[in-house]
Homo-oligomer: A and B are copies of this chain.
Amino acid sequence: MNKQYNIPVSDTKWLNESEMAAWMAYVAATHLLERRVEDQLKADSGLTHAQYEILAKLSQQPGGRLRMTELANRLIVSKSGLTYQIGQLERRGLVTRAACPSDERGVLAVLTEEGTRCLERTAPGHVAVVRAFLIDRLTPEEVETMRQIMTKATAAMEAAPAGPLRALRPGKSPG
């Protein structure tokens, strides 16, 4: 089938022991942390992590509003997925939809008063989880290194085209 990602065995640069350990620990920690965050939010406010991230992102914006597509891009979620979740939040009165003044097609997701209160009520518990299982386990230097690592990775992926990895490798041009 599609072999565009396949690299001949001889060229494969496998992960060494440290790299493999780092990757496996990252995967495990990510799964565990996602579960903890999800559990806390569910128990504390009935929100999912995806919904919390929507509220949090909106609250960072002036006027607590953002275009649907822009919001989806920032949250790294599909547009249809965002449509669904905004519907859920709207049903709970935490978000409202408003017409975009500059583009007739556009829709603004707007954080409501109640959405703001819900976020303020929920945030402390959320932060507590992030601290308890991650941040407070690290030295300030480790926190800073994690920031650098994750920023680099994010930049690499935002820069690279969505397509096949080949585009990133030298000596090949898209057919």
**Interface set of A (CB-CB < 8 Å, partner B):** 1-10, 12-15, 18-19, 21-23, 25-33, 35-36, 39-40, 43-46, 53, 75-77, 121, 123-125, 127-135, 137-138, 140, 142-154, 156-158, 160, 162, 164-165, 168-169
Interface centre among A1, A53, A157 (most CB of B within 10 A): A157
Q: With contacts A25-B154, A28-B150, A137-B149 known, what are 10 further pairs, Cβ within 8 A?
A: A5-B40, A5-B129, A18-B143, A29-B151, A33-B157, A36-B157, A39-B162, A129-B165, A132-B156, A133-B160
Closest to A45 in B: B1
Residues of B within 8 A of A138 (CB): 149, 152
If A137-B152, A147-B22, A153-B137 touch, does A76 touch B32 (CB 8 Å cutoff)? yes
The answer on a CB contact under 8 Å between B12 and A127 is yes
The answer on a CB contact under 8 Å between B31 and A76 is yes
CA distance A148 to B18 in the complex (A): 10
